[in-house]
Amino acid sequence: MFNPTRLKVQLKLAINRLKMLQAKRTSLNQQARREIGTLLEKGKEESARIRVEHIIRDDLLIEAMENLELYCDLLLARFGLLESYKTCEPSIAEAVNTIIWAAPRVGEVKELSLVRDQLASKFGKEFMLQAMENEDDRVNPRIVMKLQVSAPDTYLVERYLEEIARTYNVQWKSNIISHEEEEEDLEDIEDLGNDNDDNGSGGQAELLPPLQNPSPPVVPVTNNVGFDLPEIPTNSPLNKNTNTNPSLPPPPPADDFDALQRRLDALKRK
């Protein structure tokens, strides 16, 4: 019997469980990587190759759990569509089918099995069987690839070992895979660095213009060069003391001032 309240509770519990398992496995992986680095340092390559396969599977499982967590969150965000319609809406179809398919493959998350049962009650047994068999590729192919049971590729194993050795400063390189492309890239980088050294400072510094402004050119002055300048005329108005206002009469001489003074005194006596 479909119970919306129970489904919502189980989705929230599944999200919490998925987060907790991701953190736990990530911490264990870090410790296992250190141990593999120690094995490589001691020259125990075969033991390191076997143990690194567990790390690869755990990394894939952690990524799958992260995707399933997002799908559970999506169903909670669109719970109205899940509750209202009798058929599965296209906007949530991939999330529903992927959770139904992945639930038995992630046994540590028991809440996903309860979510799958509620979805089967909602959409029917036939819908659940089609999702379990992944008909028409309705399940997310990334989840299928990450949860499939198969031995990891040899190239991936060797790359993991080299990355672990580089992380923990262990001088080790795989003798199984080819490193010709990497060596060619390193040679190209070294050649480029040598070219820059031969050309001086190199780089963009040679292309930049000088910061200071160039000084103006200096024109030499010689004493033998003469300049043909016109002479100043003798009757130039600059040499004369002229009145600024030509309409005013010229100032009277000093004797006239004395005469005026005497006339004013005579007028005062009268």
Measured CA to CA, the distance from residue 270 to residue 14 in angstroms comes to 133
Summarize the confidence of residues 170-199 as an average pLDDT: 65
Span of 33-42, 52-61, 98-107, 213-222 with lowest mean pLDDT? 213-222
Our CA dihedral for 256, 257, 259, 263, rounded to 10 degrees, sits at 140
Euclidean distance between CA atoms 220 and 237, whole angstroms: 37
Q: Which residue has the higher pLDDT, 29 or 175?
A: 29
What six digits make up the tokens of 145?
């690839």
Check: CB of residue 82 under 8 Å from CB of residue 178: no
In the predicted model, what is the mean pLDDT of residues 15-34?
95
Between 211 and 147, the higher pLDDT residue: 147
Average of pLDDT values for 190-194? Answer: 61
Residue 49: pLDDT band with limits 50, 70, 90: very high
Give the per-residue pLDDT at 215.
53
pLDDT at 149: 84
Which residues 6+ apart lie within 8 Å of 22 measured at CB? 62, 65, 66, 69
Based on its alpha-carbon atoms, the radius of gyration of the chain, rounded to whole angstroms, reads 49
Tell me the pLDDT band of 128, cut-offs 50, 70 and 90: very high
- pLDDT for residue 242 is more than 50: no
Q: Which region holds residue 235: left if phi is over 0, alpha if psi is between -120 and 50, else beta? A: alpha
Query: What's residue 225's pLDDT?
Result: 46
Residue 222: is its pLDDT beyond 70? Answer: no
The pLDDT assigned to 204 comes to: 43
pTM: 0.65
Residue 212 has pLDDT above 60, yes or no: no
pLDDT of residue 252 exceeding 90: no
What percent of the chain is predicted at pLDDT more than 70? 67
Helix, strand, coil percentages, rounded to 5, for the chain: 65, 0, 35
Angle of helix 45-77 relative to helix 154-167, nearest 10 degrees? 100
Q: What is the pLDDT of residue 191?
A: 58
Q: Rounded to the nearest 5°, which phi and psi values hold at 40?
A: -65, -35
